[in-house]
Structure 1
Amino acid sequence: MSFFPGTDPEPGNSFACDAIENLIIPRSSDIGGFAVRRALPSRQRRLVGPFIFFDRMGPALMRAGEALDVKPHPHIGLSTVTYLFDGEIKHRDSLGTELVIKPGDINLMTAGRGIVHSERTPENLRGKPLSVSGLQTWLALPDDREEIDPAFSHSDAGTMPLIDNDGAKARVVIGDFAGLRSPVPTFTDTLYVDLRLEPGRSFPFPAAHEERAVYVLAGELSVADDGFAPNQLLVFRPGDEITLKAGPQGCHMMLFGGAALNSRRYIWWNFVSSSKERIEKAKEEWRTGRFEIVPGDEEEFVPLPEK
């Protein structure tokens, strides 16, 4: 989840296709029986468009008696994006938001100058086996929005535009794609698309966005006759027209990217900023209890890491 303390992934191997700038193999870590694979940030690539963090959660089957319990923790300078394929997660934050996210929905939580939230298994699902699968990503905020007031936006799956065309099915989760636009608010050019291709089906990935990447979720993806397995991240060269082709088992993938930020971003724990000094200030604010509390989840919190 968004507090996951894993290390950066190891670099992957380059492929022959000239359109691929980076191939990133995420490192998998286990948090209480729950597998998380982190693709961004990595040693090879820190951001793709505004995406500064990309975690693949699960798929995992949590046994009866197990539960997801991400205690209250803080963020600054970013928007968190939670997107599920399976399972349910209850979100609470310091704005007073309390909501259960379900598969296909989007939770967009904008931290700005500071927010605190928790993510837990809903009470009605505790004590039962629970399948959980999804993605959590962070969008770094542009320079002039880093210190805005925190906000929360939830969009139901049914409000997002769909593509259903001859073996290709896609949901436009954030931003513009193929002439369609998601209702999820954005602060800069952003692309986030859930794409499924039937076996052997090809699909164009146009160069409309400055930076683009694909994360393979299931099946096999082929690009210019190079094959890519699940849990591989491909970052493409700007300006190249790309054709995505599914292997014999089909392919499920996320397309993402957008405009590059105008300045460098620093990331430490759950804090993102263009200023190292601002991150130091946030560390002190969390250490001394100056962030807001999460109503209904006041008893626990994630302490500031020592390093």
Structure 2
Amino acid sequence: MIELVIDQRRRDLGGFEVGRVLPFHARRMVGPFIFLDHMGPATFQAGFPRSVDVRPHPHIGLSTVSYLFEGSMTHRDSVGSTEVIRPGEVNWMTAGKGITHSERFEDLRAHGGTMNGIQAWVALPDEAEETDPAFAHHGPDDLPTYEGGGMWARLIAGKAFGAEAKVKTHSPMFYVHWALEVGATAALPAEYPERAAYVAQGIVEIDGRQLHEGQMAVFAPGETVTVTAVTGAIVMLLGGEPVGPRLIEWNFVASTKERLEQAKADWRAGRMKLPDADDQEFIPLPPDPPGPAPAMS
């Protein structure tokens, strides 16, 4: 039932640690999900430096999905959006043919507090790779919930368990937040060919194996997966239909090397518009990595 267990790799992004789960060398994607970072958990004192913020940077060929358990974050982008995301809400940004955005921790800087959440990237299918960029913010009323048997669940995006979130997606997928009490058991049906569960908090047992915070289990297709909470736990379920192999380099996702190179050239030359409300600085393109071109995912 479990094909692979992935341990998060902790990375310091300039005063703020994240746990990177996807992409992984042995499993680059799960359904359309090509990137998953666990932001924090990290506690900040009021007045921490602006260097912790994520300055304006570009994307192509993907949608970014931000979802918080604790804290807040201000999003600004080049299509004119400014939105503060808080726990239980969804920021869904579609890069398509190109977008730039920043993520600032202004409320946390003013008041202090904890940041804890998930940032995921969803690769766009071939027909949507060059779609117009867009941004959507969704509050809890757009996200179906369920409660019973020691489990609380929220459908963040896609379709699952007979429900559908009011978040526009571009390919068949699901993304779910489970909160499980000690001893609670819940089942993930074999609805999609590619599925995974990331343990964001606590310990669960799956297929006779215990998984702890920071681990992702990737499942074989065709079987219902049973999850039992050994402790109180938060589990993120994700997956869907594969969209085909993708290249990923820096903040860009594409189905061809030529498109990646064009995006890099555009950013290097200043041809990608910065957010109107945050255009005084940006993250420069890093040097090309040594060795062969990035592998297809």
Q: TM-score, normalised by structure 1?
A: 0.91
The separation in 1 between residues aligned to 2:271 and 2:168, in whole angstroms, is 28
- Aligned partners of 1:90 and 1:266: how far apart in 2? 28
User: In structure 1, what residue type is equivalent to 2:177?
Assistant: D
Aligned positions of 1:174-193 closer than 5 A: 174-193=157-176
Q: Which residue is equivalent to 1:279?
A: 260
Which residue of 179, 200, 204 maps to 1:221?
A: 204
In structure 2, what is the equivalent of residue 291 of structure 1? 272
Cα distance in structure 1, aligned partners of 2:217 and 2:38 = 14
* Conservation of the 8 A alpha-carbon contact between 1:103 and 1:157: no
Give the letter for the 2:206 counterpart.
Answer: V
Would you say 1:85 and 2:69 are equivalent positions?
yes
The equivalent of 2:38 in structure 1 is 56
Select which of 39, 48, 69 maps to 2:53.
Answer: 69
SS at match of 2:264: helix
CA distance change for structure 1 residues 125 and 201 in 2, over 3 Å: closer, same or farther?
closer
- Residue identity matched to 1:193: V
Which of 153-162 and 101-110 deviates more?
153-162
Q: Would the alpha carbon gap of residues 165 and 93 (structure 1) be closer, same or farther in structure 2, given more than 3 Å must change?
A: same
8 Å Cα contact 2:45/2:109 also seen in 1: no
Task: Give the drift of 1:161.
Answer: 0.6
Q: CA RMSD in A?
A: 1.1
**Cα–Cα, structure 1 residues 125 and 203, in superposed 2: closer, same or farther, change >3 Å?**
closer
1:165 pairs, out of 135, 148, 154, with 148
* TM-superposed deviation, 1:130: 2.3
Q: Identify the match of residue 118 of structure 1 among 102, 110, 125.
A: 102
Matches of 1:111 and 1:255, distance apart in 2: 23
Q: Return the match for 2:118 from 135, 141, 145.
A: 135
2:195: which partner in 1? 212
What is the distance in 1 between the residues matched to 2:133 and 2:47?
34
Alignment partners' CA distance in 1, 2:270 and 2:134: 20
**Distance in structure 1 (CA, Å) of the matches to 2:74 and 2:80:** 13
2:134 to 145, 151, 155: 151
Which consecutive residues of structure 2, in runs of 5 or more, have no partner in the other structure? 289-297
Cα distance in structure 2, aligned partners of 1:176 and 1:285: 36
Report the 3-state secondary structure (helix = DSSP H, G, I; strand = E; otherwise coil) of the residue aligned with 1:280.
helix
> Which of 18, 33, 50 is the matching residue for 1:36?
18
Aligned-pair distance for 1:186? 0.7
Deviation at 1:30, TM superposition (A): 1.6
Aligned partner of residue 126 in structure 1, secondary structure: helix
2: CA distance, partners of 1:199 / 1:244:
12
- Cα offsets for 1:23-43 (capped at 9, x unmatched): 101110122332101000011
> What percentage of residue pairs aligned between the two structures are identical?
47
2:247 to 260, 263, 266: 266
Tell me the CA shift for residue 160 of structure 1: 0.9
DSSP 3-state at the match of 1:58: strand
- Tell me, in whole angstroms, the C-alpha distance in 2 between the residues paired with 1:155 and 1:222: 32
Distance 1:293 1:218 in 2: 36
1:208-241: CA deviation from partner (whole Å, max 9, x where unpaired)? 0110000001111101221111100100001111
The CA deviation string for residues 111-165 of structure 1, in whole angstroms up to 9 with x for no partner, is: 000000000013x543432210000000000001000110111100232110101
Is the CA contact 1:207–1:240 (under 8 Å) kept in the aligned structure 2?
yes
Contact 2:9–2:20 under 8 Å retained in 1: yes
> What SS does the aligned partner of 2:223 have?
coil
Structure 2 counterpart of 1:7: none
Rounded Cα–Cα distance in structure 1 between residues aligned with 2:177 and 2:201 = 12
Shift of 1:296: 1.5
1:250-300 per-residue CA deviation (whole Å, 9 max, x = no partner) reads 221100000011x31000000000010000000000000000121121110
Q: 1:14 is matched with which residue?
A: none
Partner of 1:3: none
**Residues 125, 234 of structure 1: alpha-carbon distance in 2 compared, 3 angstrom cutoff:** closer
Instruction: State which of 233, 239, 245 in structure 2 corresponds to 1:251.
Output: 233
